[in-house]
Amino acid sequence: MKLPSKRFADAVVVAPAGRIDQSNADAFKDALAPHLERCAPGEDRVVLDLTRLEYISSAGLRILMLAAKQCKTQGGTLVLAGLQPLVKEIFEISRFTMVFDITSSLREALARASSSALTAFETA
């Protein structure tokens, strides 16, 4: 799976697009793995920009849940941003809003990640 990413200082913004369901959940997991490995103090903060995500099934939510667990275990920071209304409803109904740190915009997510990431974003 192609998973575009962009760096803002010490934060990496990863932006999945389209649909994540049982058919591509494993590919999403594999594509996300290198970013999660570096999600730790002194390394990267990871922001998942879901602006272009149209749909996510329970299989996809599970991958995000595993990502949150991994980042927490490593002491890292994972923030989700830009959920579209339908995706936001799926998060709310499945109660995953209680599992993740979710912000309404990429700017807010980068501010949550670090001040240097926000500065890099605003001066880019």
Partner 1 sequence: MRVRFWGTRGSLPVALTSDAVKRKVMGALLKAIGKPLATVEQVEAFVAQELAAPQTYGGNSSCVQIDIGGDDYLLCDMGSGARVFANHVMTKGPKKSNTFHVVMSHMHWDHIMGFPFFVPAYIPGNTIIIYGCHEVLESAFRRQHAAPSFPVEFAQLPARIEFVRLETGVTYDIAGVEVRAMRQRHGGDSYGYRFEHQGKAAVYSTDSEHKLEDSAETDEFVEFFQDADLVIFDAMYSLADATTVKEDWGHSSNVVGVELCQRARVKHFCMFHHDPFADDDQLTAVLRDTRRFEEITRGEHPPLEISTAYDGMDLVL
Residues that bind partner 1 (CB under 8 A): 22, 25, 55, 57-59, 61-62, 65, 69, 86, 89-90, 92-96, 98-99
Token digits for 61? 């939510």
Relative orientation angle of helices 115-123 and 106-113, to the nearest 10 degrees: 140
Strand partners, 56: 20
Alpha-carbon span 104 to 27, nearest angstrom:
26
Q: Which is nearer to partner 1, 26 or 37 (CB)?
A: 26
Contact 11, 35 (CB under 8 A): no
Whole-number minimum distance, CB 8 to partner 1, in Å? 29
61 versus 111: smaller Cβ distance to partner 1: 61
Residue (99 or 120) nearer to partner 1, CB: 99
Residue 65 beta carbon to partner 1: minimum distance, rounded to whole angstroms: 5
